Amino acid sequence: MTGAGKEERPWGYFEVLLDEACCKVKRVVVKPGQRLSLQYHRHRSEHWYVVSGAGLALIGDEEKIVREGLSLDVPLMSRHRLENDGEAPLVLVEIQCGEVLDEDDIVRLQDDYGRGN
């Protein structure tokens, strides 16, 4: 199955590039000064590859600087957050693998935009 299109979020947007039973691939764009929820997933792991821009990633208790060309693994059940503290959009490719690959598998621990579960 091919992608499902662009979905706007308060922090930027994502586009589903590939959506199959075994994996989902997204292009994620985080606007300057914005960040995603502090969250975890019960049913999937993720792999991030930074295409352009720079920012910060929190995975578990470890904070990492992210920039073009770096990749990170987000294990199942690991709390994580991605933040763009730069002046240009932070663009990454996210590969999801697991039993449930939809937005219902987000457990938000903290959210700047007042979104809960």
Nearest to 86 by CA among 63, 60, 68, 61: 68
The model's pTM: 0.90
Residue-range definition of the domain harbouring residue 39: 2-110
Residue 115 inside a domain? The answer is no
pLDDT in tens, 37-73: 999 999 999 999 999 999 999 999 999 999 999 999 9
- For tokens 């991605």, the residue is 82
Structure confidence at residue 35 (pLDDT): 97
Residue 28 inside a domain? The answer is yes
- Residue 45 · residue 31 · CB < 8 Å: no
Structure confidence at residue 4 (pLDDT): 62
Count of domains observed in the chain: 1
- Which CATH number covers residue 30? 2.60.120.10
